[in-house]
Amino acid sequence: MSIFTGAGVAIITPFHADGSINYDKLDELITFHCENGTDSIVICGTTGESSTLTEEEHMECIKFAVDQTKKRIPVIAGTGSNCTRTAVEMSKEAAEYGADGLLLVTPYYNKATQAGLIAHYKAIASEAKAPIILYSVKSRTGVNIEPETVAALVKETDNIVAVKEASGDISQVAEIMYMTDGKVDLYSGNDDQIVPILSLGGKGVISVLSNVAPKETHDICAKFFAGDIEGSRALQLKAIPLVEQLFCEVNPIPVKKALNLMGMEVGGLRMPLTELTEANTQNLKRAMQDFGVQFV
């Protein structure tokens, strides 16, 4: 059974003016998603600025999300690290909190070999008793999870069950599904490739777009699964200009600006991330307006 199907939101982490985590606002956002069609909360991923959270903050956020979601929809905890021991300990703790799944990005900066990736993921899987989603995003970590590596990990472990594919390489995605005989749950890591991923047997998307357009992102998947391929494709194509603006500067700079434009008051960013430029803000506003996202 899949951890979830449909659109999982890679939820942002809201901050107070002093940079501390705004848990009241995070609670509001969780409720917003539970009430607007989002199929899963993905907490403390890249979009959640996990790289600038302390380990204590990181785990507090995960526990808070699990507790406040109250099993309305699954919660997937980002517990990846470039230190295997750290990833093991965070993953074990998140599983103990009741996270429905773990999202494990490839180790960054130290850039493990494929053999190193296998050793890294097996070490986590052997100790953290929760379903694991591999996260392949070479553009941010400098290392790709090759299809052969995905296939080996899925075959040789019981709880590595899925992959978030953000390479942008549809041929690689097809190769993963071929080499695993389709026995891995596939999630798009790119909002502009939801329908292509679904067409290869994908279960959904882990989405930045869902932060600002949860119902529409859910509907891209739901329409596809219901057999309304044309409706799904039309929504996917309509979203392209907004998706482009949500990545006009490094994620999550634009999506946090979008949420603040919507009146969500999610606060700013932690350094070294800085506010969206004025020119890009105007382009983002136009894309939001064209897609039908209301802002104040």
**Active-site residue 97, yes or no?**
no
Return the bridge partners of 133, or none: 103, 162
User: Which position has the token pair 């382009």?
Assistant: 283
For residue 109, what are the contacts with CB-CB under 8 A and spacing of at least 6?
82, 141, 142
Query: Catalytic residue among 121, 135, 187, 257, which?
Result: 135
Determine how many CB atoms are found less than 10 A away from the CB of residue 108.
16
Query: Catalytic residue among 25, 63, 164, 223, which?
Result: 164
**Calpha distance 266→19 (Å, rounded):** 11
Please give the structure tokens belonging to residue 236: 């996917």
Helix, strand, coil % (nearest 5) of the chain? 50, 15, 35
For residue 169, what are the contacts with CB-CB under 8 A and spacing of at least 6?
none
**Active-site residue 129, yes or no?**
no
The catalytic residues are 135, 164
